[in-house]
């Protein structure tokens, strides 16, 4: 009975995952344009008249988080998973590098940067075809681990240029800048052609970046979480009409018997809190699993393009592998005998 109750609680808190679509990927361009031009409702007004439902779901979330917390501090998971998690840490950097390379390769093949709404034509004009080839080549180079540090620096500059063209919207993709900064600081790592052929010596001009090594993985975690928070606020609060159209067009009220805007409010809160937990460094591995779970459900339900989500999957797994760090709140507060917590 106890196990069944636990499963029901977990399922209940994960059901709102269906609302986590990236709105500009699943809506047609005409709908996006109209939604952006429409004065959006204040999402939090959906609380009025739905107080009972709001506190019920808040209670479910509280029980779930409390259950996970006690499962962690009682030590069973810590002891049983500690040897495995200690081994997984060393795979975090190679996974970040390969994920970044595959993501760059997909940009070249798709002819768009970060997502479908940022086409090469707007960024590069007549140079778009050449840039597609360049992204394929540099993506393969990063996958193989050659000149990763220099390529990462160039991608940081490109991110800044994209911000100049698209404004604050580019903050939706801070997970990418987190990956580029990690590679610029840490380089290709030991499982790479840079390490095998010792080509890292050609990056001596960037050797000063190594002094920031302790900040590389914490920075990645923080920027990954911030991107989730910003995307939630942007599409579910500042431009809530986008998320509302997703709820209406995909008939999400058939699954959740609530007002459409109340579903948007729930998605906003859950997504924002998940990002905040990563930024603060609380329940990092649990949150990583949660995000990967709803991301998979979202792709299956909304039939979104896979390539813009490669970075989310890869970095999400890398964050799970790496776990806590010296800047994570729980890593500092819950150390036991000098060892970081596992879950």
171-180 confidence digits (pLDDT tens):
999 999 999 9
Q: What percent of the chain is predicted at pLDDT more than 70?
A: 86
Where does residue 92 rank: exposed (0-12), middle (13-18), buried (19+ CB within 10 A)?
buried
Give the mean model confidence (pLDDT) for residues 103-120. Answer: 96
Give the mean model confidence (pLDDT) for residues 184-193. Answer: 91
Which tokens go with 132?
A: 């597609």
**Domain, as residue range, for 183:** 26-62+82-343
| Spatial CA neighbour of 250 closest among 14, 25, 11, 12 | 25
Q: Which pLDDT score is estimated for 338?
A: 53
307 belongs to a structural domain:
yes
The count of structural domains within the chain is 1
Confidence band (pLDDT; 50, 70, 90) for 16?
A: very low
The mean predicted confidence, pLDDT, of the chain is 86
Q: Is 19's pLDDT higher than 50?
A: no
164 belongs to a structural domain:
yes
Q: Is 261's pLDDT higher than 70?
A: yes
**What per-residue string of b and e applies to 325-343 under the rule 16 or more CB within 10 Å gives b?**
bebbebbeebeeeeebbbb
Find which of 56-65, 70-79, 231-240, 322-331 is predicted with most confidence, using mean pLDDT: 231-240
| Spatial CA neighbour of 200 closest among 146, 154, 144 | 146
Which tokens go with 9?
A: 């609680």
For residue 75, give every residue at least 6 positions away whose Cβ sits within 8 Å of its Cβ, in sequence order, or none. none
Tokens 């007002």 found at: 259
Q: Which pLDDT score is estimated for 5?
A: 40
15 belongs to a structural domain:
no
Q: Which pLDDT score is estimated for 74?
A: 64
Which tokens go with 129?
A: 């075809």
Q: How far apart are CA 232 and CA 247, in angstroms?
A: 15
- pLDDT tens-digit series, residues 60-81: 888 877 777 776 666 666 666 7
178 belongs to a structural domain:
yes
Q: Is 279's pLDDT higher than 70?
A: yes
196 belongs to a structural domain:
yes
List, in sequence order, the alpha helices (H) in the chain.
Answer: 2-14, 23-26, 29-37, 51-73, 76-88, 92-110, 120-124, 128-144, 148-166, 174-186, 193-197, 213-233, 240-249, 260-280, 284-302, 310-322, 329-333
Reported for 188-194, long-range contacts at CB under 8 A and 24+ positions apart, including other chains, are 188/97, 188/145, 188/146, 188/148, 188/149, 189/93, 189/94, 189/97, 189/145, 191/94, 191/145, 192/94, 192/97, 192/144, 192/145, 192/146, 192/148, 193/144, 193/145, 193/146, 194/145, 194/146, 194/147, 194/148
Please give the backbone phi and psi of residue 336, each rounded to the nearest 5 degrees, phi first: -125, 115
Neighbours of 248 (CB within 10 A): 12
Q: Which pLDDT score is estimated for 75?
A: 64
Confidence band (pLDDT; 50, 70, 90) for 210?
A: confident
Q: Which pLDDT score is estimated for 277?
A: 92
pTM over 0.85: yes
48 belongs to a structural domain:
yes
Give the mean model confidence (pLDDT) for residues 125-152. Answer: 96
Confidence band (pLDDT; 50, 70, 90) for 339?
A: low
Q: What's the first-to-final CA gap in the chain, in angstroms?
A: 25
Q: Is 129 helix (H, G, I), strand (E, B) or coil?
A: helix
Q: Which pLDDT score is estimated for 204?
A: 72
90 belongs to a structural domain:
yes
Q: Which pLDDT score is estimated for 10?
A: 42
Give the mean model confidence (pLDDT) for residues 181-198. Answer: 90
Q: Is 106's pLDDT higher than 90?
A: yes
Q: How far apart are CA 241 and CA 204, in angstroms?
A: 49
For residue 14, give every residue at least 6 positions away whose Cβ sits within 8 Å of its Cβ, in sequence order, or none. 290, 293, 294, 297
Give the mean model confidence (pLDDT) for residues 82-96. Answer: 87
116 belongs to a structural domain:
yes
Q: How far apart are CA 325 and CA 219, in angstroms?
A: 10
Where does residue 211 rank: exposed (0-12), middle (13-18), buried (19+ CB within 10 A)?
exposed
Range in 54-58, 123-127, 179-183, 334-338 with the lowest mean pLDDT: 334-338
Q: Is 13's pLDDT higher than 70?
A: no
DSSP string, 134-171: HHHHHHHHHHHTSSHHHHHHHHHHHHHHHHHHHGGGGG
């Amino acid at each position: 009975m106890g196990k069944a109750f636990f499963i029901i609680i977990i399922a209940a808190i994960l059901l709102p995952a269906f609302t986590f679509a990236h709105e500009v990927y699943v809506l047609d361009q005409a709908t996006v344009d109209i939604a952006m031009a429409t004065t959006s409702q204040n999402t939090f007004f959906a609380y009025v008249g739905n107080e009972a439902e709001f506190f019920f779901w808040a209670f479910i979330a509280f029980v779930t988080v409390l259950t996970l917390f006690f499962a962690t501090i009682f030590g069973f998971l810590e002891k049983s998973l500690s040897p495995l998690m200690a081994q997984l840490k060393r795979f975090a950097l190679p996974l970040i590098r390969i994920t970044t390379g595959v993501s760059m390769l997909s940009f070249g093949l798709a002819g768009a940067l970060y997502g479908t709404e940022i086409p090469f034509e707007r960024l590069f004009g007549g140079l778009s075809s050449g840039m597609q080839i360049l992204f394929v080549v540099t993506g393969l180079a990063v996958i193989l681990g050659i000149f990763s540090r220099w390529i990462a620096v160039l991608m940081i500059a490109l991110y800044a240029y994209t911000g100049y063209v698209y404004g604050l919207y580019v903050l939706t993709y801070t997970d990418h800048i987190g990956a580029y900064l990690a590679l610029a600081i840490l380089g290709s790592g030991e499982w790479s052609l840079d390490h095998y052929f010792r080509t890292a010596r050609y990056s001596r001009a960037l050797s000063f970046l190594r002094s920031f090594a302790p900040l590389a993985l914490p920075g990645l975690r923080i920027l990954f979480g911030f991107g989730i928070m910003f995307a939630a606020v942007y599409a579910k609060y500042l431009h809530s009409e986008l998320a509302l159209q997703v709820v209406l067009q995909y008939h999400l009220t058939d699954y959740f018997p609530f007002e459409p805007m109340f579903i948007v409010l729930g998605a906003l809160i859950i997504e924002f809190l998940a990002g905040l937990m990563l930024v603060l460094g609380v329940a990092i591995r649990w949150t990583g699993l949660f995000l990967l779970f709803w991301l998979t459900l979202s792709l299956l339900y909304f039939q979104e393009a896979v390539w813009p989500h490669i970075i989310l999957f890869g970095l999400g797994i890398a964050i799970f592998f790496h776990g806590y760090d010296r800047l994570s709140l729980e890593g500092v507060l819950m150390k036991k005998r000098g060892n970081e917590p596992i879950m």
